[in-house]
Amino acid sequence: MARSDEEVLDEIVDEDIRSDETAADRSAPDTEAADTSDDAAGRLGGLFSLKAFLLSAALIAVGVGGGGAIPIVGTLGSLGGLFVATFVVGLVAAERRYLETAVAGGLIVGASFALSLLSTGVLPVGMRFFREYGLAFGGVGVGIGAVLAVVGHYFGRDLRDGLTQEI
């Protein structure tokens, strides 16, 4: 009796699965290191993209720097620049990149908040304030930056969805 192509294909797939299982059961250190690195790369590959993070970080740095350069508004301009930059990332990106945008926004705004305290360091009371509250002030900046980055990215994605959806 002749076997069908599907039966042959099923047998080949079953053999591949069994050989993968026996290879995973081996306790050789080289195969374990290769298996864990491939598994970790597979799981994190779709969760976090370094390229998207670097692009988000660059755009956010430009937005925060540009917004902070406005003379009268200062910190509010930096936060506005963050929102605009993450809005653009959400508008342009083909995939959702909330994690990368939140991490980049949090890091950059947190560093910006902490560095803004250094300008008060020339005053005697400024250094004491920086030592006591600098880390907490930077943490507030991280939280505000991450939340504002996610909100900006969300609204950018929402506009992109509305523009590309058929009526």
Range in 20-34, 40-54, 104-118, 149-163 the model is least confident about: 20-34
- The per-residue pLDDT for range 90-105, each reduced to its tens digit, is 998 888 888 999 999 9
CA atoms of 122 and 125, how far apart (whole Å): 9
- The per-residue pLDDT for range 138-164, each reduced to its tens digit, is 888 899 999 999 999 999 998 888 888
* Local confidence band at 120 (pLDDT 50, 70, 90 cut-offs): low
Q: What is the mean pLDDT of residues 59-70?
A: 89
CA angle 140/146/41 to nearest 5° reads 130
Compute how many other C-beta atoms are within 10 angstroms of the C-beta atom of residue 167. 3
